[in-house]
Amino acid sequence: MAKHEVVALYLSLALGGAFCHSSVAAAPDPASTSISQNALPAPEKAISDVAQPGQVSINDATAEQLSAVMNGVGLKKAQAIVSYREQYGPFSAIQQLSEVPGIGNALIERNAGRLKL
């Protein structure tokens, strides 16, 4: 590795990778792998307590959580989902979201991987 690439690598590591060049970014960093192997394990949680990354429960989430995770759903539509849930009770199927005003089948299909009951 050329001297300027080594300097750039150290500089990018020191600055948190903010100024990392693409040619340097492809180079593996052996120091980071050894640090991650020596890190303390995260506390264990029950499997039912751990949600899939990027998923949100339509029966438990707040309007803010729904709007943050769902593609094409802002705070107004998310609040409509929460209001519907409060008025009619929990959803029994994800497809039931189509009964919420402003939520169509295309929106449900687009977010199917992000939703759970």
Name the DSSP letter for residue 16. T
Whole-model pTM over 0.75: no
Name the DSSP letter for residue 90. S
The pLDDT value recorded for residue 15 is 58
Amino acid at 13: L
Tokens (6 digits) for 63 = 């309007």
The pLDDT value recorded for residue 35 is 45
pLDDT in tens, 59-108: 999 999 999 999 999 999 999 999 999 999 999 999 999 999 999 999 99
Would you call 114 helix, strand, or coil by DSSP?
Answer: helix
CA nearest to 70, candidates 37, 112, 30, 102: 112
pLDDT of 44 over the 70 cut = no
